């Protein structure tokens, strides 16, 4: 039997929940994968331990001071890992010739430039950074087409859709008899909380997701359902799906990760325990299947799968996302930036939970949607929205 060539990986955002899960799957298959680069913004202690275990050729951190600290730790341990710092270093390792596959798991707008660098270099891209498509969907997908990069979705919902579409799906709903996509949402921690109690929600409560273990920002997005709104926009770009053919359905058990309905009435779904190692392993090994360390699904133990339609009054961020997608141009970029500012203010204790949607709505009303022909225009819209959102937060504090 011919020896298998190892897949050479760069993990952007290695210290976050997706990065940690990726390294867990990779460690189970040392014969298949080789880690070339690991990156983390500021969690140097976590990145140091990861480097000691996986011995990458490169490590990237956010600042020169952190790079000096990490370099000393790794040098003392006898590692020859080259430590780099800053945004340009992220783009460099994402495009390295010796890297085949890039896991794009940096949260938020900060992940856009290195993710785009990986696409432009024609890499196999495992996309966990949904903001890249939300902020710059048209530009991003044009670069995928131009470079020949292979794009595999990591979000559990989009990975489920990917698995449920025809293997030769090439972006045409009607051409493949697809009627619609149904993205499932857990409903987060406040699905059944009386509305009056949402006024006093704390960051700790918002981050206590009932099913998934996630970072703080994405946990708040799940609580507001902005996470699902961003996923609707992402699905639009990934699958060339019209807005009116993407539906969100609340499924509190988080067992069905999404569904595809066909013209003949068939509905295909992907099921599994709520564990991100499943979509990560699927994308890492695609089109093969590998062990992910995930507990087998026991439907009899679960007993019941339930569904309901989302309430736009309880979750106003979801209709705001549909509104931004329909407006097009810079509107999704504005939406994402305003949300990041508002969530950060909530987590810092500067903004009530229910005001997150108010800040986003104010920014969308204040700034017109304009075309985004290039990355500079995308980043300009992002900056403008952050400034407007920051001012809106400040006004509420006075």
List of domains in the chain: 7-153 (3.40.50.720), 328-398 (1.10.1740.10)
> Residue 342 has which token pair?
């508002």
Tell me how far apart the alpha carbons of residues 156 and 161 are, in angstroms, rounded to a whole number.
Answer: 9
Give the pairing of strands 178-185 and 256-262. antiparallel
Contacts of 76 (CB under 8 A, 6+ apart): none
**Cα–Cα distance, 82 to 37 (Å, whole number):** 9
pLDDT in tens, the chain (398 residues): 456 789 999 999 999 999 999 999 999 999 999 999 999 998 999 999 999 999 999 999 999 999 999 999 999 999 999 999 999 999 999 999 999 999 999 987 889 999 999 999 999 999 998 888 999 999 999 999 999 999 999 999 999 999 999 999 999 999 999 999 999 999 989 999 999 999 999 999 999 877 766 778 889 999 999 999 999 999 999 999 999 999 999 999 999 999 999 999 999 999 999 999 999 999 999 999 999 999 999 999 999 999 999 999 999 999 999 999 999 999 999 999 999 999 999 999 999 999 999 999 999 999 999 999 999 999 999 999 999 999 999 999 87
- Cβ neighbors of 343 (< 8 A, separation 6 or more) are 217, 220, 221, 226, 356
Lookup: tokens for 376:
């500079």
Backbone region of residue 86 per phi and psi (left: phi > 0; alpha: psi in -120 to 50; beta: other values): left
Radius of gyration of the chain (CA): 21
Tokens at residue 203, please? 């960051």
Instruction: List the one residue out of 360, 363, 348 whose CA is nearest residue 397.
Output: 348
Q: 112-120 and 131-147 are packed helices; what angle lies between their axes, rounded to 10 degrees?
A: 10
- Indicate the Cα dihedral angle 201, 204, 207, 209, nearest 10°: -90
Handedness of CA 32, 36, 41, 44 (dihedral sign): positive
Burial (Cβ within 10 Å: 0-12, 13-18, ≥19) of residue 348:
exposed
């Amino acid at each position: 039997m011919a020896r298998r060539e190892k897949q050479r990986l760069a993990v952007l955002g290695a210290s976050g929940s997706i990065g940690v899960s990726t390294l867990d799957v990779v460690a189970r298959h040392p014969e298949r994968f080789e880690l070339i680069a690991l990156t983390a913004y500021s969690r140097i202690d976590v990145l140091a331990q990861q480097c000691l275990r996986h011995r990458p050729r490169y490590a990237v951190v956010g600042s020169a001071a952190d790079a000096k600290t990490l370099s000393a730790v790794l040098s003392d341990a006898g590692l020859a890992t080259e430590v780099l710092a800053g945004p340009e270093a992220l783009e460099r390792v994402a495009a390295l010739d010796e890297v085949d596959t890039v896991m794009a798991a940096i949260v938020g707008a900060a992940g856009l430039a290195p993710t785009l660098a990986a696409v432009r270099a024609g890499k196999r891209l495992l996309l966990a950074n949904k903001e890249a498509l939300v902020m710059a969907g048209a530009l991003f997908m044009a670069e995928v087409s131009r470079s020949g990069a292979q794009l595999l979705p990591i979000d559990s919902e989009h990975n489920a859709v990917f698995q449920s579409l025809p293997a030769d799906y090439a972006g045409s709903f009607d051409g493949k008899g697809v009627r619609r996509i149904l993205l499932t949402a857990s409903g987060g921690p406040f699905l059944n909380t009386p509305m009056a109690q949402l006024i006093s929600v704390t960051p700790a409560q918002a981050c206590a997701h009932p099913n998934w273990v996630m970072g703080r920002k994405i946990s708040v997005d799940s609580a507001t359902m902005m996470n699902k709104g961003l996923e609707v926009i992402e699905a639009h770009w990934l699958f060339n799906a019209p807005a009116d053919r993407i539906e969100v359905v609340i499924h509190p058990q988080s067992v069905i990760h999404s569904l595809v309905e066909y013209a003949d009435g068939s509905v295909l779904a992907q099921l599994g325990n709520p564990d991100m190692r499943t979509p990560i392993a699927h994308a890492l090994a695609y089109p093969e299947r590998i062990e992910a360390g995930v507990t087998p699904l026991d439907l009899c133990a679960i007993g019941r799968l339930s569904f309901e339609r989302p309430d736009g009054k309880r979750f106003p961020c979801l209709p705001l996302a549909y509104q931004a997608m329909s407006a097009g141009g810079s509107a999704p970029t504005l939406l994402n930036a305003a949300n990041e500012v508002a969530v950060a203010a909530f987590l810092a204790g500067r903004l009530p939970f229910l005001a997150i949607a108010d800040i986003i709505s104010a920014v969308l009303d204040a700034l017109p949607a304009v075309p985004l022909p290039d990355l500079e225009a995308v980043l300009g819209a992002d900056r403008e929205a952050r400034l407007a959102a920051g001012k809106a937060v400040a006004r509420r504090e006075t």
